[in-house]
Amino acid sequence: MNRFIYSLLLYLLLPLIPLRLLWRSLRTLEYRRRWQERFAFYQGESPEVKIWLHTVSVGEFVAVIPLIQALIEEMPAEEILVTTMTPTGSARVQETFGGQIQHCYLPYDFLSAVTRFFHYYRPSLAVVMETELWPNLFHACGQQKIPLLLANVRLSQRSMEGYQRWAGGLVNEALQQVDWAAVQSEADGKRLVSLGIARSRVEVTGSIKFDLTLPEKLGQQGDELRSLLGADRPVWIAASTREGEERQVMQAHQQMLKKIPNALLILVPRHPERFSSVAKEGRNAGLVLIRRSEGEVCSEATQIYLGDTMGEMLLFYSAADVAYVGGSLVPTGSHNMLEPAALGKPVLFGPHRFNFAEISQLLIDQGAAQEVTSASELADQLIQLLQQPERRQQMGAQGVRVVEQNRGALQRLLTGVRHQLKEAQKVN
């Protein structure tokens, strides 16, 4: 497929986009708002932007917060633009930085829309986090002579094969516009090169997710929440669970309750639009469930504490004894397991962890994590860990050690961004 055919297909699908947004708005009202940004129609005077960073959603944005904070120390905050694709990502940007920085949704990948986007914001440097490959966006970067960086790139074998099978030529053309790619591992770099980027433009910098910064009062706040949940009862968390996964998590919890009757599950679905349906599913399964958003008191009879709030995942991890990281018992590819590891929590996850293949294997190899393949196996591991405090402590300590030993990617990435920005300013 070439870019002309790709663009033609996009325009043919254009009438479906509003329908999709309306459909998603049935669960999340924010999808009905700010449509003009999604097509790059702006009002008001064009702001002066030096660096534009794109983070698709919450997870990517959280990882890049330290980079943004470091850049703010070096330039006026209003010269930094952060884009997202989702309302949850947008909300997190605004919660974290307020009006300090520029923020909007990234427009859909129509050439006319991305061209308007660049004409309005006129960034000197573009930084796209992880593996967001948008053919028209990247082409427009080249047309506008805007240096383009890919940061914290991870590319699974599965994703690489998918690109090669369906869009090899399109991806190759897009990657020709990339000036520098900071990849998480040597394997990620090799896969990216196989898709068409020059090896000289690829540098292994590591994963910035190892450089996460924990809030100073997180331990104290976690202890406070734990006292509300029950200081003496075993508590585990199933974090960022996806559709079809909650059922397995609840089955594991029910199985575990036969051995540990007072155990409590903190259940945190990945997407807020599913909070209510997951709550209903838990109650229909005969489990005593309360919702954090409703301020209900957790009693000895409570079996599930639904974490249906935003921005509190670290707090929930801190209050738990064991962490299961979701998106891994279903073929989603898993979510970030470094947060619970950094907090000294034993980590469990399912077999579908291709988004974090290297990191998850490192945690397994170092004795900080364990893979489970079913609800029954999850229950067995939870029972063992909750009944063996010494093993929990050992796994948790190994997780902290892994995180500490692999820090440094953020500084390497920041050095690269500074260099590319300096080169861009020389040209301009």
The DSSP result for 142-187, as a single string, is HHTT--EEEEEE---HHHHHHHHHHHHHHHHHHHTT-SEEEESSHH
Q: Are residues 187 and 224 in the same domain?
A: no
Give residue 29's pLDDT.
86
Q: Are residues 301 and 399 located together in one domain of the fold?
A: yes
Question: Residue 145 belongs to a domain with what CATH number?
Answer: 3.40.50.11720
The pLDDT value recorded for residue 50 is 93
Judge if 178 and 281 occupy the same domain: no
Q: Is residue 427 one of the residues assigned to a domain?
A: no
Residues 281 and 152 occupy one common structural domain: no
Q: Do 223 and 362 belong together in one domain?
A: yes
So what's the pLDDT on residue 24? 87
Across the chain, which has 428 residues, the per-10-residue mean pLDDT values are 90 93 87 94 91 89 89 91 93 90 96 96 94 93 94 90 86 94 94 94 94 92 96 97 97 98 97 94 97 94 96 96 97 94 98 91 97 98 97 98 95 92 78
Q: Does residue 265 form part of some domain?
A: yes
101 within a domain of the structure (yes/no)? yes
Instruction: Return the structure tokens found at 329.
Output: 């018992």
166 and 294 housed in the same domain: no
The pTM of the full predicted model, rounded to 2 decimals, is: 0.82
In this structure, is residue 1 part of a structural domain? no
Query: Which residue from 218, 210, 161, 167 is spatially nearest to 185, judged by alpha carbons?
Result: 210
**Looking at the domain assignment, is residue 134 inside a domain?**
yes
The Cα 97–Cα 120 span in angstroms is 22
Question: Tokens standing for 22?
Answer: 């309306």
Count of domains for the chain: 2
Give the structural domain span for 224. Answer: 218-405
R_g over Cα of the chain: 22
In a domain, 10, yes or no: no
Please indicate, yes or no, whether residues 178 and 229 belong to a single structural domain of this protein. Answer: no
pLDDT at 169: 87
Q: Which residues are part of the catalytic machinery?
A: 60
* Burial of residue 57 (number of CB atoms within 10 Å: 0-12, 13-18, 19+): middle
Is the same domain home to 136 and 224?
A: no
Regarding whether 155 and 108 lie in a shared domain, the answer is yes
pLDDT at position 71 is 92
The whole-number pLDDT of residue 129 equals: 93
pLDDT of residue 428: 64
- One domain for residues 162 and 295: no
CATH code of residue 342: 3.40.50.2000
Within a domain: residue 228? Answer: yes
Report the pLDDT value the prediction gives residue 107, as an integer from 0 to 100.
97
Q: Same structural domain for residues 177 and 236? A: no
